[in-house]
A and B are shown apart, each in its own frame.
Chain A
Amino acid sequence: QQPVQSPQAVILREGEDAVINCSSSKALYSVHWYRQKHGEAPVFLMILLKGGEQKGHEKISASFNEKKQQSSLYLTASQLSYSGTYFCGTEDTSGTYKYIFGTGTRLKVLA
């Protein structure tokens, strides 16, 4: 079963902050975050490997809580270029090695 992301959609003004959550019903060994612009392929943003570890990319950071099977993406002082759909992704931990994505969060930043 794919990870569930919340919220499903969010609209921001430039300069505002947002948090996107990714929750899994299965254990997570690592979480990856991607951003997809309209009409394009998803682009990898960052990887979270250890519980509680935070990674950063521009003004975007993320955290990973292994015990809660959750990851959160933090967008600070959002820019117009942050608009797109954000996905978390992870390798299935049941031993199949298949890679699945979360349900996605559509983010729109307005001027």
Chain B
Amino acid sequence: NAGVTQTPKFQVLKTGQSMTLQCAQDMNHEYMSWYRQDPGMGLRLIHYSVGAGITDQGEVPNGYNVSRSTTEDFPLRLLSAAPSQTSVYFCASRPTGNQPQHFGDGTRLSIL
């Protein structure tokens, strides 16, 4: 059972480039979320989804897009990368009913 899988694990981009961070889960969880964690800081919610076809904004959504076409996949798109988006990105999923998050290993993203 793979759990939550994030790809890539590391990425370096130039300012202005776009890219998609992939996230897939095989636990049939309805809820999926993306967080960013800056060095020495907490986890800030970017976007989340409560089911296929349903997404909503978190605390820091600007500069990011998401879609949820299937229960399993929840990709995060950076539209035009900026140095302020240098961070570690975590994807998480959980079942319904006040259940805890299951995390992927994270994507370490640097924007030059």
Interface residues of A (CB under 8 A from B): 2, 29-30, 32, 34, 40-44, 47, 49, 87, 89, 91, 96-104
Contact = CB atoms under 8 A, between A and B. Distances in A.
Interface stretch (B16-24, B71-79, B101-109): B101-109
Contact of A44 (B42, B101, B104): B101
Contacts of A97: 31, 48, 50
Given A41-B103, A41-B106, A96-B56, A101 B42 contact: yes
A96 B48 CA distance: 10
Contacts of B43: 42, 87, 101, 104
26 contacts: A29-B98, A34-B100, A41-B90, A41-B103, A42-B43, A42-B90, A44-B100, A44-B102, A47-B99, A47-B100, A49-B98, A87-B42, A87-B43, A89-B101, A91-B98, A97-B48, A97-B50, A98-B56, A98-B58, A99-B31, A99-B33, A99-B101, A101-B35, A101-B43, A103-B42, A104-B42
